[in-house]
Amino acid sequence: MRRPLGVTVSRHIMDSQRLHPKATGDLSGLLNELIVAAKTIGAEVNMAGLADILGMSGKTNIQGEEVQKLDEFANRTIINRMARSGYLCVMTSEEEDDIIPVQDGYTGKYTLAFDPLDGSSNIDVNVSIGTIFSVHRRVTASGQGDKRDILQAGRKQVAAGYILYGSSTMLVFTTGEGVHGFTLDPSVGEFYLSHADIKTPERSKYLSINAGNRPYWQQNVRDYFDLLGEYDPEKDRPYSTRYIGSLVADFHRNLITGGLFAYPRDSRNPDQPHGKLRLLYEASPLAMLIEEAGGRAITDDGRNILDIEPEDLHQRVPLIIGSKADVDEAEEFLS
Ligand code: AHM
Ligand code: MG
C-alpha cells in the first residue's frame, strides 16, 4: 500500500489499522508508546556530544542528578514507558539477564524484545547507533507473561523494526504489510513517512563483514568472502566493503542500497560457537524486515533465521542477511 509522503507515523499506523476492522488498536497503541520512548532516547543521543561541555561527564550533572550511560538510559526509558503501557505481558532486553515483568494491573496481549542501543562500540564516538525491537503475540492466557511468551520463532513476530540515530533519526518498521521508513523532523518532533514500501535491491555489490575476524572463521566462510573480493567482471566483482560496526546502521545502509551483511560463527569461543549477534534482539527482527523488503536472512549453515525456535533469552546466532540473490549465492557456496 502506497501513501503520499508527508504522512505522520501515527496517521500511517491509524490508516493501517482501519484496513483490519477486527483490530483492537492495541498494536497501534504499543507502537505509538514505543515511538515516544524512541524520541526520548533520540533526544538524549543528540545531546551526548555536549555532555563534556555542559559538565555532565562525571557521575552527576550540573543539577546534581545522576548521569546514566546512554545504553542504560535507553534501556530504562523503554522499560519504564512500556511496563505501564497496558499492551504487554512481559519484556526482554539485551541489557537484562532475565525477563522483565510489566506493572501489575497493566498486562496486555503482546511481548516486546529489544536491544535498547545497538552498536555499543560506537556510542561514545558520534557514529550511528539504534534501537531494535520485536513484538510477538503472547501464548499464555492472561496475567503476567513468562519465558514461553518470549521464546517464540521470528516467523511469529507481529511487528519488528528499529530506530536509527544517525545523521537524522529514522524509524523503520513492519507489521507484515511492507517495510516503511519515517524520518524525524526535530523541529516539530514528528516522524514523517519518507521511505514508503521499501524494497531492497535484488542483488548488490556491497559486503559488510568485520574482516578482522577472518582468522577465526571456518574455512568455507573465508573462501567465500575471498571470492567476493576477487576480480571477476562477469559477476561484477570485486565487491566493495562497508562496515560501520553498528548492526542497525549496517543493516539500514544495505536495506536501501542493497548489500550482504555477515557475522558468521568464529573459533574464539568454542563453548558458544554461534557468532556474536543475538537471535531475539537483533537477528530475528531484522530478518522479518529484510524478508518483507524482498531479501533473506539465514545462518552460516543455511537455516532460515525466522524458523529458529529460541531456547534461551540471549541465544546468539551466526547471521547472513541482505539482498536475495547475494544470500542465495552465499547459501549455495557454504552448504
Ligand atoms: P552490541 O549489542 O554490544 O552493540 O554488539 C552488537 C554489535 C553490532 O551492532 C555489530 O554488528 C557488531 O556488534 C560489531 O561487532 P564487532 O565489533 O565484533 O565487529
Ligand atoms: Mg546489539
CATH code (residue 87): 3.30.540.10
Residue 115 belongs to what domain range? Answer: 9-195
Residues ≥6 apart with Cβ < 8 Å to 124: 48
Averaged pLDDT of the chain: 92
Q: Tell me if 193 sits within 8 A of 12, measured CB to CB.
A: yes
Distance (angstroms) between ligand 1 centre and the Cα of 106 equals 34
Q: Are residues 181 and 267 in the same domain?
A: no
Q: Is 237 exposed, middle or buried (0-12, 13-18, 19+ CB in 10 A)?
A: middle
Asked whether 119 lines ligand 1 (CB < 6 A), one says yes
Is residue 327's pLDDT more than 80?
yes
Q: Which of 195, 220, 250 is the last residue of a domain?
A: 195
Asked whether 121 lines ligand 1 (CB < 6 A), one says yes
Whole-number Å distance between alpha carbons of 277 and 318: 7
Res 56: pLDDT:
46
Lowest mean pLDDT among 57-66, 95-104, 190-199, 290-299: 57-66
Is residue 83's pLDDT more than 90?
yes
Res 123: pLDDT:
84
Residue nearest to atom 3 of ligand 1 (CA): 120
Asked whether 31 lines ligand 1 (CB < 6 A), one says no
Q: Are residues 46 and 131 in the same domain?
A: yes
Would you call 18 helix, strand, or coil by DSSP? helix
Q: Which residue carries 497493566 as its cell? A: 106
Q: Is residue 216 part of a domain?
A: yes
- As a whole number, mean pLDDT of residues 198-203 equals 98
User: In a mutational test of the pocket of ligand 1, which residue from 128, 225, 277 has the highest number of ligand atoms less than 8 Å from its CB?
Assistant: 277
Asked whether 275 lines ligand 1 (CB < 6 A), one says no
Using 50, 70 and 90 to split pLDDT, how confident is the model at 23?
confident
Res 69: pLDDT:
85
Asked whether 112 lines ligand 1 (CB < 6 A), one says no
Is residue 314's pLDDT more than 80?
yes
- pLDDT per residue as tens digits for the range 279-311: 999 999 999 999 999 999 999 999 999 999 999
Q: Are residues 288 and 233 in the same domain?
A: yes
Q: Which of 195, 216, 251 is the last residue of a domain?
A: 195
Q: Tell me if 261 sits within 8 A of 330, measured CB to CB.
A: no
Task: Dump strand ranges (E) for 175-266.
Answer: 179-185, 190-195, 206-208, 240-241, 260-263
Asked whether 168 lines ligand 1 (CB < 6 A), one says no
Is residue 260's pLDDT more than 70?
yes
Q: Is residue 3 part of a domain?
A: no
Asked whether 320 lines ligand 1 (CB < 6 A), one says no
Is residue 33's pLDDT more than 70?
yes
Q: Is 169 exposed, middle or buried (0-12, 13-18, 19+ CB in 10 A)?
A: buried
- The grid coordinates listed for 318 are 551466526
Whole-number Å distance between alpha carbons of 303 and 206: 22
Produce one character per residue of 203-224: b if its CB has 16 or more CB atoms within 10 Å, e if not: bbbbbbbeeebeeebbeebeeb
Q: Which ligand is nearest to the CA of 244?
A: 1
Asked whether 276 lines ligand 1 (CB < 6 A), one says yes
- What backbone torsions phi and psi does residue 235 show, to the nearest 5 degrees? -95, 10
Residue nearest to atom 16 of ligand 1 (CA): 245
Lowest mean pLDDT among 54-63, 154-163, 226-235, 309-318: 54-63
Using 50, 70 and 90 to split pLDDT, how confident is the model at 57?
very low
Residue nearest to atom 6 of ligand 1 (CA): 119
Res 120: pLDDT:
81
Q: Are residues 180 and 235 in the same domain?
A: no
Q: Are residues 220 and 290 in the same domain?
A: yes
Is residue 15's pLDDT more than 50?
yes
The model's pTM is 0.94
Lowest mean pLDDT among 117-121, 241-245, 294-298: 117-121
- As a whole number, mean pLDDT of residues 135-156 equals 97
Using 50, 70 and 90 to split pLDDT, how confident is the model at 55?
very low
Distance (angstroms) between ligand 2 centre and the Cα of 206 equals 22
Percent helix / strand / coil, the chain, rounded to 5: 35, 25, 40
Higher pLDDT, 205 or 5: 205
Asked whether 39 lines ligand 1 (CB < 6 A), one says no
Atom of ligand 1 nearest to the CA of 263: 11
Res 22: pLDDT:
80
Q: Are residues 137 and 74 in the same domain?
A: yes
Produce one character per residue of 170-182: b if its CB has 16 or more CB atoms within 10 Å, e if not: bbbbbbeeebbbb
Task: Dump strand ranges (E) for 122-248.
Answer: 129-137, 157-165, 169-174, 179-185, 190-195, 206-208, 240-241
Strand-strand pairing, 260-263 and 240-241: unpaired
